[in-house]
Amino acid sequence: VSSSTAAPDSEPARIFLNVDLGERSYPITIGAGLLSDPALLERHIAGHKVAIVTNTTVAPLYLERVAAPLRAAGRDVLEIVLPDGEQFKNWDSLMTIFDALLEHKCDRKTTMVALGGGVIGDLTGYAAASYMRGVPFVQMPTTLLAQVDSSVGGKTGINHPLGKNMIGAFYQPRAVLADTASLGTLAPRELSAGLAEVIKHGAIIDAAFFDWIEANIGKLMARDPAALAHAISRSCEIKAEVVRQDEREGGLRAILNFGHTFGHAIEAGMGYGAWLHGEAVGCGMVMAADLSHRLGLVDAATVARMRALVGAAGLPTVAPDLGTERWLELMEVDKKNEGGAIKFILMKPLGSPNITSAPREQLLATLAACVG
């Protein structure tokens, strides 16, 4: 991962990163107002046709400012506006996209643009991976979660009625353009959910970044542009470096699931949608910190810091009471477990990952301590 910051007099500061994946390498640009900079997007569009996929919430806010300049420049722009929601990250939406592309006679040089949160990004990426066996696509993430997590790394896909994200492909975008100004319209709960993944990156990779998040959580919650830009860029750097080392999740990439074993159990146990993913991960990180301490991997102060930071990010810190047996059952079905004992991603110490199984006694103690 290489990075640089440029701040010409006429423009606000922008941060440029590069995801190093050989011939699949791509740039990430982060800054305020990128959605209103057509030249930036134009650079990554090779053919005449552009298909912008977005949803009914994002379209009225941002679609025109992306589409209009492309049209004015003579491009043939197709707008595909899907209904909003995780329940639409499915086969029907994928077919809606393919129908529109085929009716519009989109060829293999068509560039697809994902304008929205992680749902739009995952769906559009998978459509781009499979339409005519692969067309170029650009990620324009508009949620904090998508800017710090889902738009980077090339995991694309849809949900199946029998499981989340069960159908998909690894397919890297040509570029990621993260406009921090678009976060101004995000619901507070969605902002907090994105912060969970930011905190995660500090907890498993970079203790100094965790310190920085602690010191700046007030600014982040207030959507201070400079603070958000730093949180996004450091998160992208960390995720890009993990992905560079393990693009297809052969091993290392699993550390990005810190807090997720507990979190997935909460999401499933409460019924998908009741807790946002980031809320469940926030609480899951408190539980993972608690378990890390019980196994002697971190001190008690680290657990207290994690609980305080997750709370300050507007995320829940007390786990729901699903019943002990149900809790264990839900953690065992987590798809990241390949037979045998549950493998937890823990910290040893703060800022470093440690993958381990946990004795039943300590696990039960963590559940007892964290469930409200």
Helices (H), the chain: 38-42, 58, 64-72, 91-103, 118-130, 144-145, 188-205, 207-221, 225-245, 260-270, 277-294, 300-312, 324-332, 360-370
- Among positions 28, 49, 55, 213, the unique one binding ligand NAD when judged by CB under 6 A: 55
Rounded to whole angstroms, the Cα distance separating 93 from 260 reads: 27
Nearest CB to ligand NAD, comparing residues 150 and 302: 150
Eight-class DSSP state of 192: H
Query: Rounded CA gap, 200 and 261, in Å?
Result: 13
Number of residues counted as binding ligand NAD (CB under 6 A): 27
44, 49, 230, 260: the active-site residue: 260
What mask, x for binding ligand NAD by CB under 6 A, covers residues 151 to 180? --x-x---------x---------------
Give the C-alpha separation, 101 to 112, whole Å: 10
Q: Does 279 bind ligand NAD (CB under 6 A)?
A: no
Binding mask 75-104 for ligand NAD (x = CB under 6 A): ---------x-x--x---------------
Which listed residue (89, 234, 239, 305) is catalytic?
239
* Beta bridge partner(s), residue 113: 52, 138
Q: Which residues are paired to 76 by β-bridges?
A: 49
Closer Cβ to ligand NAD, 95 or 166, answer by number: 166
28 binds ligand NAD (CB under 6 A): no
Distance CA 71, CA 5 (A): 30
- The closest alpha carbon to 135, from 217, 49, 195, belongs to 49
Query: Does residue 241 have an active-site annotation?
Result: no
Smallest distance from the beta carbon of 7 to ligand NAD, in angstroms? Answer: 24
According to CB under 6 A, which one of 143, 192, 235, 292 is a site residue for ligand NAD?
143
Taking alpha carbons only, the member of 262, 217, 276 closest to residue 370 is 262
- 300-312 vs 188-205: helix crossing angle, rounded to 10: 160
Q: What is the token pair recorded at 23?
A: 């011939």
Q: Residue 44, interface with ligand NAD (CB under 6 A)?
A: no
What's at 281, amino acid-wise? Answer: V
Cβ proximity to ligand NAD: between 251 and 349 the closer is 251
Residue 57, interface with ligand NAD (CB under 6 A)?
Answer: yes
Q: How many residues does the chain have?
A: 372
Closest CA to 138 of 169, 156, 114: 114
- Is position 119 an interface residue for ligand NAD (rule: CB under 6 A)? yes
Residue 223 is a catalytic residue:
no
Q: Which one of residues 29, 96, 150, 257 is an interface residue with ligand NAD (CB under 6 A)?
A: 150
- Of the two residues 85 and 218, which places its CB atom closer to ligand NAD in the complex? 85
104 is catalytic: no
Residues that bind ligand NAD (CB under 6 A): 55, 57-58, 61, 84, 86, 89, 116-120, 122, 142-143, 145-146, 149-150, 153, 155, 165, 182, 185-186, 190, 193
What are the catalytic residues? 133, 155, 197, 239, 249, 253, 257, 260, 264, 277
